[in-house]
Chains A and B, each alone.
Chain A
Amino acid sequence: MLKIENTLFTAVMAVYFASMLLYFCFIAFKKDGFARFAVIAQAAGLALHTLALICRGIGAGRLPLTNQYEFATSFAWGLSLVSLVFILRFRFKALGAFAAPVTFLVIGYAAMQSKEVRELMPALRSGWLGLHVSTAIIAYGSFGVCFVLSLIFLLRARVQQGSFLDQHLPDREKLDAISYRASALGLLFLTFTILSGAIWAERAWGSYWSWDPKETWSLVTWIVYAAYLHLRLRRGWQGRAAAVFAVIGFICVMFTYIGVNTLLPGVHSYA
């Protein structure tokens, strides 16, 4: 099973890469046809990716969400899923051209991690872990998409009026509304992540919250996005300022994900 997963993982990387190239061709050659194939490739990549995760789960005999490799590949899966949903829901194919490189970077990061299946320590053998990490994947995926949308927002003014890209990008108002949807999804799921993590921590370690650096940083991220939601309600703080804030929010997400593990010590050092 793990061998199949290995092959599938390589295939997923290839398909995502192809999808990314097709999105680039769509922008470079100004042909809608490329975008259609890019979306199909992304959907196919996502299906293969789902299959790969299932194989990993069967091969390891547990949910594939417990070490750096598994979380990174799942994060890429979340990014791919949320961006695909947003592309289809808002008929916004050009989003793929910006989201695909981020997905590819994350799956590239996964490829660099050790794929070894290690046995789980008793604390990690909990149903809450599944809920904790799977909600984190959707939260991170949503924040990733919000980040990409905010970058597009910030670059939007530089796009030449009437150009091909101009026609395929929503106007700033709509971009703002879509990125609000993405941040809302992210914050909601991050809340579930923190809550399920707290419940699990209490069952495993006897304490809901112990200010471990990963916990602290997930709270920082949560606060940053809460502040973002409030700022948006104030006149003059929608649009550009909110977009800059969303970019800062995603930097916090990435620090929570990678920075904390590598720079700060804590009980989350396994994931």
Chain B
Amino acid sequence: MRNRFHRIVRFLGSMRFAIVLLAVLAAACAAASTLTQGQSYAWYAQRYGERTAAFIAALDLDDAFHSPWFIVLSAFLCLDLLLCNLVRVKALIRRTRMFAEPGHLLSLTPECSAWVRQPEKAFPHLNMGIPAQSETDGKSMLSAVRGRAGLWGAWVCHLGILLLILFFSLGQTLEKQYTVYGVLGQSMAVGSTGYIATIDDFRIDKSESGFVEQYTTRFTLRDANGATTAQSAQVSVNHPARLRGMKFFQNSTGWAAKASVTKNGEPLQSQWLCAGEYLEVSDKPGLTVLLSAVYPDYIFVPGAGPKSLSDSPVNPAYLYSVYYNGQLVGMNVLMQSEELTVDEYAVSFSEPSPYTLLQVKQNSFSLFALLGGLITAVGLLLALYVQPVRVWAVSGQDGLWRLFGENRKGGKLFAEAFAKAAEKAQISTPEDGKPNAED
């Protein structure tokens, strides 16, 4: 039973299983990337037919990267990484400790060896520095090691990937997201956080040719019940701000207008509406007006519909739809000075202004995920660029030394460098003094 458990753990933490998992994950990602993600069943059915759409729905291929099978695959990858690192850590510590130990070196039979007369000359040629001298089992020994940290490369890399996947998934699951938008001076609650954000400034920087270079918003964050002092910050694209454990991103912009409602000529209500928002007439339940679009410089192009010639509010117009109890009852374009009348109510729009939209995120794990990524990179650097090398020489008969070298990651390149270094150390043989280099 115990044996079986051990075998299963060994398999789940094995490199063989890892290679299979990596191949399956790569194939799954490649396949999923060819299918447009996040569409409705009807969309897939219209494109690919009912049967394919049913297949897509059954396997969650419309949201493949968050589907149960993808999560299970990733979980197995994490388990594999975890077990692999746990199983190997003891041996790795022992290997690191023993790496330069003369007694241990004596027991090794590496692929590179040669008889030489002046072993100390070989060391600098292999970038080994000055070798340490020791006496072991009655034999003199010279030894030097480098790149011991490289032994830990794969382990550190695996740890990094594990942390990256775990924290990223945790972050994605627990992340809270809100949006805050409005025109200059407008305030809005930041989701359910209990904070209120007020837009203090919104600027659109343009180049001489009119191309947008940057969007910048200045805002103030206040506690809804005034328990903490207000804080201000500035955000622009590529320059998010962190306030009260939340990260604010400049996300997008659009047009808004002030909607005013009168009843029998008397002012009833007035509020800002961003394009896409609804106005609910306070006095008349069921009557809503949707501000579909704002055209600051309106023109109607036959065949193409309404358009804006520029971003200057010189000839504003507003596309609206009117609903009564959820039924569309009217839709048209309203110019600045015009009014839309429904019974005794009149709705008009004015002051077309750009609004800013900030994305707000609360994710305490993203920095840890990033740290995992950095650890992965450090691990790769160690694994691939710090080659653990050890070179040692043991005294033999006739004043000759047996020179050994080991670099498991160096392959033929190290073997060649070793042969050259051995030549500098005067290759010889105990019997007849003829050159003899063995790789």
Residues of A within 8 A of B (CB): 90, 119-123, 125-126, 128, 170-171, 173-174, 176-178, 180-181, 184-185, 187-188, 191-192, 195, 198-200, 202-206, 208-209, 211, 213, 216-217, 219-220, 223-224, 226-227, 229-231, 233-234, 260, 263-265
Contact = CB atoms under 8 A, between A and B. Distances in A.
Nearest to B369: A208
Given A173-B412, A203-B240, A230-B15, 4 more contacts: A122-B213, A206-B240, A206-B251, A208-B168
A234 B20 CA distance: 13
A184 B30 contact: no
B376 A191 contact: yes
A223 B385 contact: no
B29 A219 contact: yes
B239 A211 contact: no
A181 B359 CA distance: 43
A189 B251 CA distance: 30
A122 B215 contact: yes
A176 B411 contact: yes
Contact of A213 (B33, B213, B249, B373): B33
Does more than half of chain B's interface fall in helix, strand or loop, or is it mixed? helix
A231 B212 CA distance: 49
A119 B205 CA distance: 13
Nearest to A222: B26
A224 B26 contact: yes
A90 B411 CA distance: 14
B237 A204 contact: yes
Contact of A211 (B65, B409, B412): B65
A227 B22 contact: yes
A191 B277 CA distance: 43
A174 B211 CA distance: 54
Interface in B101-160: none
A187 B380 contact: yes
Interface string B384-405: 1100000000000000000000
Nearest to A264: B33
Interface in B22-40: 22-23, 25-26, 29-30, 32-34, 36-37
B15 A188 contact: no
B18 A180 contact: no
Interface in B229-265: 236-240, 247, 249, 251
Interface of B: 15-16, 18-19, 22-23, 25-26, 29-30, 32-34, 36-37, 65, 168, 207, 209, 211-215, 236-240, 247, 249, 251, 359, 361, 366, 369-370, 373-374, 376-377, 380-381, 384-385, 409-413, 416
Contacts of A231: 19
A45 to B, nearest CB: 27
Nearest to A227: B22
18 contacts: A119-B211, A121-B212, A122-B214, A123-B237, A125-B237, A128-B238, A174-B411, A177-B410, A184-B385, A185-B384, A191-B380, A202-B240, A206-B247, A206-B249, A216-B65, A217-B30, A226-B22, A234-B15
Contacts of B376: 191
Nearest to A238: B411
Contacts of A90: 413
A128 to B, nearest CB: 8
A216 B238 contact: no
B366 A177 contact: no
Contacts of A211: 32-33, 37, 65
B142 to A, nearest CB: 27
Contact of A174 (B15, B23, B239, B416): B416
Nearest to A203: B238
A213 B409 CA distance: 34
B415 to A, nearest CB: 8
B22 A171 contact: no
A198 B211 contact: no
B133 to A, nearest CB: 32
Nearest to A221: B26
Nearest to B240: A203
Contacts of A187: 380, 384
B18 A203 contact: no
Contacts of B214: 122, 125
Contact of B23 (A184, A208, A217, A227): A227
Given A191-B380, A202-B366, A227-B26, A264 B34 contact: yes
A220 to B, nearest CB: 5
A74 to B, nearest CB: 21
Contacts of B168: 208-209
Contacts of B410: 177
Given A184-B384, A187-B384, A188-B385, A174 B34 contact: no
Which 7 pairs across A and B sit closest by C-beta, in order of nearness?
Answer: A177-B411, A184-B384, A122-B237, A206-B249, A173-B412, A119-B211, A174-B412
